[in-house]
C-alpha cells in the first residue's frame, strides 16, 4: 500500500491573503512549501490536494475556472520538480449540506481507494479546523500549518493535531 500527504490548497500551498477578493489563487507560497514538498516526495509519499472550493456554488467562479487554477498550480509545482499525484475538491458551499465538503473525509477516502493508500501511515495538512477534522475523520495524522488562517486555530486544535508547524517546509522535523 502507498502512503500520502493530503494537503489543503488555499492558505497551505498557495497565498490566500487576498481572500475574499482574490479567490482561489495559484500563487504558491514558494518560501513556505517547496522544500517541504520535495522532502515529502523523497520520503516516498504521494501528494494529493484536497480542497473546499465553494466559489463554484456561490457563482463566483465556474468549475472550468477552478480547474484552470488547479492545473496552473500543478504546472508551477512541476516546474520545481514537484509531482502532484492527484487533486480533489468540493464545489459546494456549507448550506448545500453535501457529503464531500471538509471536514467530511469523503475526498480523502476517494483518493485512498483510487491510489491504494494506507490512511494510518498518511497525513492530512491544512490551515483550518475543517482540514484537521477531515484528517481525523479519515484516520490520518494531522498537521496544522500557521500559514493562511492557521494562526487563528492555534490553541483551539492542539489536542487534535499531531504537529503544528510554521509552514510546510518544517515537515523535515516530522518525517
DSSP codes joined into one string, 143-164: EEESTTTGGGGTTTSTTT-SEE
Is the peptide bond preceding residue 20 cis, with omega within 30 degrees of 0? yes
What the block records as the C-alpha cell of 67 is 480547474
Q: Is 152 one of the annotated active-site residues of the chain?
A: no
Cβ neighbors of 81 (< 8 A, separation 6 or more) are: 38
**Closest to 60 in 3D by CA, of 86, 9, 21:** 21
pTM of the full structure: 0.95
Of 10, 26, 127, 129, the catalytic one is 10
Cβ atoms of 47 and 82 within 8 Å: the answer is yes
Domains assigned to the chain? 4-173 (3.40.50.1000)
Residue 79: what are its φ and ψ, rounded to 5°? -65, -25
Dump pLDDT digits (tens) for 117-161: 999 999 999 999 999 999 999 999 999 999 988 888 888 888 889
- Element (DSSP H or E) covering residue 75: helix 63-79
pLDDT for the residue numbered 20: 66
Region 161-174: mean pLDDT is 94
> How does residue 26 score in pLDDT terms, banded at 50, 70 and 90?
confident
Q: Work out the mean pLDDT of the chain and round it to a whole number.
A: 94
Of the residues 8, 15, 127, 129, which is catalytic? 8
Query: Hey, which of 11-25, 99-113, 141-155 has the most confident mean pLDDT?
Result: 99-113
d(CA 122, CA 112): 10
pLDDT for residue 152: 87
Task: Indicate if 8 belongs to the active site.
Answer: yes
Amino acid at each position: 500500500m502507498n502512503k500520502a500527504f493530503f494537503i489543503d490548497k488555499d492558505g497551505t500551498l498557495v497565498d490566500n491573503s487576498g481572500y475574499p477578493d482574490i479567490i482561489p489563487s495559484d500563487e504558491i507560497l514558494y518560501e513556505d512549501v517547496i522544500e517541504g514538498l520535495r522532502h515529502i516526495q523523497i520520503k516516498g509519499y504521494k501528494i494529493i490536494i484536497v480542497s473546499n472550493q465553494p466559489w463554484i456554488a456561490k457563482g463566483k467562479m465556474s468549475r472550468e475556472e477552478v480547474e484552470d487554477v488547479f492545473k496552473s498550480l500543478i504546472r508551477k509545482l512541476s516546474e520545481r520538480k514537484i509531482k502532484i499525484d492527484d487533486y480533489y475538491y468540493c464545489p459546494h458551499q456549507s448550506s448545500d449540506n453535501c457529503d464531500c465538503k471538509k471536514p467530511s473525509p469523503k475526498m480523502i477516502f476517494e483518493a485512498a481507494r483510487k491510489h491504494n493508500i494506507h490512511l494510518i501511515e498518511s497525513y492530512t495538512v491544512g490551515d483550518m479546523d475543517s482540514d484537521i477534522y477531515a484528517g481525523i475523520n479519515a484516520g490520518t495524522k494531522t498537521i496544522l500549518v500557521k500559514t493562511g488562517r492557521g494562526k487563528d486555530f492555534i490553541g483551539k486544535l492542539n489536542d487534535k493535531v499531531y504537529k503544528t508547524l510554521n509552514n510546510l517546509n518544517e515537515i523535515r522535523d516530522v518525517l
